[in-house]
Amino acid sequence: MQFDLAVLPGDGIGPEVANEGIKVLQAIGERFDHSFNLHYGLVGGVAIDQLGTALPPDTLEMCRRCDAVLLAAVGGPRWDDPQAKVRPEDGLLTLRKGLGLFANLRPVKVFPTLIDSTNLKPDVIQGVDFIFVRELTGGLYFARPKRQWQTSRGRRATDSMTYSEQEIERIVRVGFELARGRRKKLTSVDKANVLESSRLWRQVAMEVAEYYPDVELEHMLVDACAMRLIQNPTYFDVIVTENMFGDILTDEASMLAGSMGMLPSASLAGVPQEGGNIFGMYEPIHGSAPRRAGLDMANPIATILSIAMMLRYSFGLIKEAQTIDSAVDEVLSQGYRTYDIMGEGKTRVGTKQMGDLIAAKVGG
Ligand code: NAD
């Protein structure tokens, strides 16, 4: 089969981890006889430097013409000035909105071989396997008004937490659909004791639940969820939540897996189905880790696992996706580690070597 893939390497370690993801994708192509046509584009700081905008219109158009998008990471201290008119992250937000990617899926799975590489006790994280569904195009990051202004008593600023019932319904449905294919338990996270938008969220979640009698729905306050993730993470199966809560909780959850460098994500324009062909953008959950850039240190596994999600949800290639998952498992079992997941008696490798090892396993 033939697929068109937009590749947006971005900034910092972005280009390094993107290369390794593509290396593994090419190995899949060779083994299973698929061809992936790659279309490279600019986004983030590199686009600001070259074209003065974080998301050039050409990049957005190119993504729309492709079957899926691989985005590595954007941002860095060079573009961090709070006074700056344009920021690398604007590119990301515009891309998500412009491509209608409202559902962000972030699986959190603890690899048995990495159980000793995290800061948590092995008996707490053993068997952790859940998935976050984060709303991605609404809430505090997008709603208006959003501004800063001068008053006679100093500066003020506002952001808005706004959701429509349609926005809530479609994301909660994604949660229910995923739960249906798993352990049939959905935790909807909100702050309904203080936020009006959360009270609407909870009402709509209960309405949607009527269509999914086979799935158990529970509501959890975001602060309680933050605590439970550390105290008893195996409790969760599927978690659905709004944009900012999801942003924060997923970073917290990444620590269960040992490193940000281990967690993939998919941002989808519809309800996901394994083996389906829904349009999506696939990215590691980490940022551009500027201090590690150019040093061949970054862990490429989050990007490689994002490629596996792409095969599963956008290209309908389940067997190929499983091949990548198993290759990662095997390479870790053989003791190879990047610096972030390094443990006693293991073999330390750089970004490229980790990519080579996984690509070689994929090649069979
Ligand atoms: P970060 O995710 O870049 O780094 C957090 C920590 O994790 C650092 O210690 C880093 O070295 C480590 N880390 C991250 N990815 C790793 C990898 N693949 N392998 C090994 N270690 C890794 O977050 P940050 O430091 O808060 O932000 C750096 C820049 O990235 C900022 O400009 C931020 O705005 C941007 N950012 C971008 C995205 C994105 O592109 N989606 C997401 C988060 C942050």
Range of the domain at 203: 119-257
Catalytic pick among 4, 129, 159, 251: 251
Asked if residue 299 is part of any domain, the answer here is yes
For residue 261 and ligand 1, the question of a CB distance below 6 A is answered with yes
* Mean pLDDT estimate for the chain: 95
Tell me the average pLDDT across 348-354.
98
For residue 289 and ligand 1, the question of a CB distance below 6 A is answered with yes
Specify the pLDDT at position 82. Answer: 83
Main-chain phi, psi angles of 136, to 5 degrees: -120, -10
**Are 101 and 135 spatial neighbours (Cβ–Cβ below 8 Å)?**
no
Looking up residue 213, the CATH number of its domain turns out to be: 3.40.718.10
Number of domains in the chain: 2
Catalytic pick among 109, 191, 282, 361: 191
How far apart CA 247 and CA 55 sit, in angstroms, is 21
Question: Do 271 and 251 have their domain in common?
Answer: no
**Are 288 and 76 spatial neighbours (Cβ–Cβ below 8 Å)?**
yes
Question: Do 64 and 174 have their domain in common?
Answer: no
Question: Do 186 and 81 have their domain in common?
Answer: no
Q: What is the pTM of this model?
A: 0.92
Cα(137) to centroid(ligand 1), Å: 21
From 288, 340, 354, the mutation candidate for ligand 1 (largest count of ligand atoms within 8 A of CB) is: 288
Share of the chain above pLDDT 70, in %: 100
Minimum-distance ligand 1 atom for the alpha carbon of 80: 32
**Which residue has a Cα nearest atom 9 of ligand 1?**
289
Among the listed residues 129, 120, 114, the one whose alpha carbon sits nearest the alpha carbon of residue 333: 114
How far apart CA 133 and CA 246 sit, in angstroms, is 8
Whether 247 is catalytic: yes
Specify the pLDDT at position 364. Answer: 84
Cα(199) to centroid(ligand 1), Å: 33
How does residue 162 score in pLDDT terms, banded at 50, 70 and 90?
Answer: very high
Tell me the average pLDDT across 356-360.
98
228-284, pLDDT tens digit by residue?
A: 999 999 999 999 999 999 999 998 998 898 888 999 999 999 988 777 889 999 999
30-83, pLDDT tens digit by residue?
A: 999 999 999 999 999 999 999 999 999 999 999 999 999 999 999 999 999 888
Instruction: Tell me which of 227, 257, 287 is where a domain ends.
Output: 257
How does residue 353 score in pLDDT terms, banded at 50, 70 and 90?
Answer: very high
Specify the pLDDT at position 257. Answer: 87
**Whose structure tokens read 């309800």?**
271
Instruction: Tell me which of 223, 257, 291 is where a domain ends.
Output: 257
How far apart CA 237 and CA 128 sit, in angstroms, is 9
**Whose structure tokens read 């959905």?**
186
HSE at residue 161, side-chain half, CA atoms within 13 A, is 15
Question: Do 268 and 345 have their domain in common?
Answer: yes
Whether 11 is catalytic: no
With a CB cutoff of 8 Å and minimum separation 6, the contacts of 194 are none
Minimum-distance ligand 1 atom for the alpha carbon of 17: 18
Cα(291) to centroid(ligand 1), Å: 9
Whether 80 is catalytic: no
Q: Which of 175-184, 254-263, 298-307 has the lowest mean pLDDT?
A: 254-263
Cα(296) to centroid(ligand 1), Å: 15
DSSP-assigned states of every residue in 132-193: EEEE-SSGGGT-S--EEEEETTEEEEE------HHHHHHHHHHHHHHHHTTTSEEEEEE-TT
Which runs of consecutive H residues, i.e. helices, occur in the chain?
A: 14-32, 45-51, 57-65, 88-98, 122-125, 165-180, 196-209, 222-231, 243-254, 301-313, 318-333, 351-362
Among the listed residues 232, 234, 214, 216, the one whose alpha carbon sits nearest the alpha carbon of residue 224: 232
For residue 63 and ligand 1, the question of a CB distance below 6 A is answered with no
